[in-house]
């Protein structure tokens, strides 16, 4: 039976992670559309989405065939590596050790690079490929999160719905405002996703190794709370260290 | 073939940023699988020890990275 703790955290992880990645992809697609035209930007985006859908259709059923213990362990290790990498970076950004990601600056850089590229002649391959690459590279992270968060617990559908809702939301807002979504608190979202994915990763590794978590499925909320507390403490310590 | 190398680098980049941190996590998981599973401690202590190790790795690496940048 699906527990609320599991389904809720799977949906929240997929939604927030997809929101962050979709905002980054939108920035590049907007730059392509503004500088080189909307037709190649949309063609590259559509091709990228089709490629990602093929990946999900190819790898989703393969994962379902793996023995559950191995699947939990493999997915857990990948989630822990992925989640702790995000969390580490978000902590260092929150502590002011490394600079925050700036969507407006990314948009300006991408626009300048596209203006400097070869002038378009007929089919604008540069524009199509730039949009395609942006959607595929950012989308790969979304696909990984959806498969990883959903596959081990039989939650592919809720995780996919969370991701789709985030992508639709970003697309609608992006179409409405026609500029990069620079006001999204990206680092706060990355911090939250890092906490959730790390918690999922640790939980699945424990399950895969046969460790018993207190509270069973509900333990995931406690693990997330402990990751949040440790990450907050690490941010404070890092701020102190970097201040000298 | 260049695009394959780029794709492989991008995929590896999803999981690895600080090589020492990644190796530390993998080593801790391996230790949990080989040693912690065999230790004569009751449940749920194995899970608690494993989680504590993950949290300690995170805090230690972040503080070390901040110290390195400052100095």
What is the overall mean pLDDT for chain A?
86
Residue A2 has pLDDT above 80, yes or no: no
pLDDT (tens digit per residue) in B36-69: 888 888 888 999 999 999 999 999 999 999 998 8
Residue A1 has pLDDT above 60, yes or no: no
pLDDT (tens digit per residue) in A20-59: 889 889 989 988 988 888 899 999 999 999 998 888 788 7
Q: How far is CA A42 from the centre of its chain?
A: 21
- Shortest CA distance to B51 belongs to which of A144, A82, A84, A9? A84
Structural domain count of chain A? 1
ipTM: 0.92
Contact A205, A83 (CB under 8 A): no
* Beta carbons within 8 Å of A187's beta carbon, 6+ residues apart: A90, A93, A94, A100, A101
Range of the domain at A46: 4-243
- Of the segments A45-49, A117-121, A240-244, which one has the largest average pLDDT value? A45-49
pLDDT at residue A3 in the model: 65
Lowest mean pLDDT across A43-47, A79-83, A117-121, B27-31: A117-121
Compute the count of residue pairs across chains A and B with CB atoms less than 8 Å apart. 119
Q: Which of residues 193-212 of A touch B (CB under 8 A)?
A: 198, 202, 205-206, 209-212
pLDDT (tens digit per residue) in A157-188: 888 889 999 999 998 988 887 777 767 788 88
Q: Which of residues 84-103 of A touch B (CB under 8 A)?
A: 84-85, 87-89, 91-92, 95, 97-98
Cβ separation A202–B61 shorter than 8 A: no
């Amino acid at each position: 039976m699906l527990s609320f703790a599991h389904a809720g955290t799977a949906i929240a992880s997929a939604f927030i992670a997809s929101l962050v990645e979709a905002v980054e992809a939108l920035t590049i697609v907007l730059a392509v559309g503004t500088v080189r035209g909307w037709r190649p930007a949309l063609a590259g985006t559509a091709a990228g989405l089709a490629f990602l859908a093929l990946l999900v259709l190819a790898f989703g059923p393969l994962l379902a065939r793996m023995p559950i213990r191995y699947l939990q362990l493999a997915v857990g290790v990948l989630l822990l590596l992925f989640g702790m990498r995000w969390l580490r970076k978000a902590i260092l950004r929150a502590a002011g050790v490394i600079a925050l990601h700036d969507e407006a600056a990314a948009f300006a850089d991408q626009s300048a690079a596209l203006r400097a590229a070869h002038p378009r002649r007929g089919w604008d391959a540069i524009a199509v490929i730039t949009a395609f690459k942006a959607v595929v590279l950012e989308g790969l992270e979304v696909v990984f999160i959806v498969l990883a968060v959903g596959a081990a617990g039989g939650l592919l559908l809720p995780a996919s719905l969370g991701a789709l809702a985030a992508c639709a939301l970003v697309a609608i807002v992006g179409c409405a405002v026609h500029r990069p979504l620079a006001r999204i608190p990206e680092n706060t979202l990355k911090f939250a996703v890092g906490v959730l994915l790390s918690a999922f990763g640790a939980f699945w590794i424990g399950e895969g190794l046969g460790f018993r978590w207190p509270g069973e499925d509900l333990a995931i909320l406690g693990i997330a709370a402990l990751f949040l507390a440790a990450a907050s403490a690490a941010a404070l310590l890092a701020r102190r260290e970097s201040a000298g | 073939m260049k695009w394959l190398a780029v794709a492989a680098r991008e995929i590896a980049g999803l999981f690895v940023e600080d090589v020492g941190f990644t190796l530390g996590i993998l080593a801790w998981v391996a230790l949990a699988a080989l040693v912690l599973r065999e230790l004569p401690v009751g449940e749920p202590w194995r899970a608690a020890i494993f989680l504590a190790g993950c949290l300690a790795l995170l805090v230690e690496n972040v503080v070390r990275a901040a110290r390195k940048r400052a100095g």
